[in-house]
Amino acid sequence: MATEQRKWAQVKREVSDLRGGLPLQPLTGMITPVRLQPPRTASGCVRGRAQAALPGRGSRGCRRGPPRRDGRRFPRTRKPTPPRENVLFGMGNPLLDICAVVDKDFLDKFEELVKKFKVEYHAGGSTQNSVKVAQWMIQSPYKAATFFGCIGKDKFGEILKKKAEEAHVDAHYYEQSEEPTGTCAACITSDNRSLVANLAAANCYKKEKHLDLEKNWKLVEKAKVYYIAGFFLTVSPEAVLKVAAQASANNKIFSLNLSAPFISQFYKEPMMKVMPYVDVLFGNETEAATFAREQGFETEDIKEIARKTQALPKVNTKRQRIVVFTQGKDDTVMATENEVTTFPVLVSDQSEIVDTNGAGDAFVGGFLSQLVYDRPVTECIRAGHYAASVIIKRSGCTFPEKPDFH
């Protein structure tokens, strides 16, 4: 009996040691076996016990980061934080895309389109297309992309709001009664598309009546990546400048698109007022060539144009400008502070190509979808190429339910 008591006392002392000095409490009722865990340090290592070194662990089994060049180790890196609501902000000319298959005799009777043919409606306009594609690539959360623009208080305006909601874009339109909602009719005859655009209300955006409102400006401040197509410089250059200055002052990313040759030609002054705030500039080869001529670059080499554009004066020197020029089926050109690089596009079977009109907008959307994750620009370009490759195989700037981008 004395021997059993001594053994029991020894067990209590050992268990007390393992529990950090806490005494063993009397047990009542049903006894449940418990696996006792040895004390650990704050870092999670077992106190007083060495473990065999594992890959990525120290001699005690603690995880450690990869070795640095000087032999020290960096902390472990975390996975990219998923984007939140309203992380991406876009502002531009919203148009309701109206698509229909028509006969050739109809092309001069645009007004009868909705009455005579079965039509499809899509939220359109260059910037809205891009933020719509970005939201599709991001998937979750909904409303990661915000959009501002002007529409009319009419039937087409209601359809446009519904279509933007279906695309999970957080659209906040300035609604007015003077002009009807802008539209873009896509009349499809066989393999051809005829586009008939009517900007209407899209031209009526008022900074002081919408952007300057506190509830709307809070959405601007909430974003960390901004995108505006150059087309909007024809509507409200003061609104573009205000958003660009906000981004620069807070070291956020402001991106702009050259959009069309006439923007560089006839809206050069407002464009060059915004340019010092631009962190990422998009354009295609035709737009780049016109921009170069207007700026007196004296070169037609697209790589040299990209390099000279990148070196233009910039307000926020914490971020060096990136210039990205697409060239259709030819390589995409990217200029950074240190180099000019080209990236091949994804090869598509010619027989699969349906409509290339939305390719540029889709490329920007794919690019922005990775930029909000702070991923490398090479990954942004890869995503842009993927998005464009999907859109050109469909009619209009449309896409399947989910992307297949990895």
Residues serving a catalytic function are 361
Contacts of 83 (CB under 8 A, 6+ apart): 138, 141, 144, 372, 373
Q: Do 392 and 373 contact (CB within 8 A), yes or no?
A: no
| Unique residue bearing structure tokens 């990217």 | 334
Q: Which residue has the tokens 């696996």?
A: 35
CB 63 within 8 A of CB 45: no
Give the DSSP letter string of 22-49.
Answer: PPPPPP-SS-----PPPPB-TTSPBTT-
d(CA 367, CA 385): 8
- Do residues 133 and 125 touch, judged by C-beta distance below 8 A? no
7-44 CB burial, b ≥16 within 10 A, e <16? eeeeeeeeeeeeeeeeeeeeeeeeeeeeeeeeeeeeee
d(CA 58, CA 82): 30
Going by C-alpha positions, the residue among 284, 246, 280 that lies closest to residue 264 is 284
Q: What is the dihedral of CA 143, 134, 205, 281, to 10 degrees?
A: 140
Beta-bridge partner residues of 173 = 149
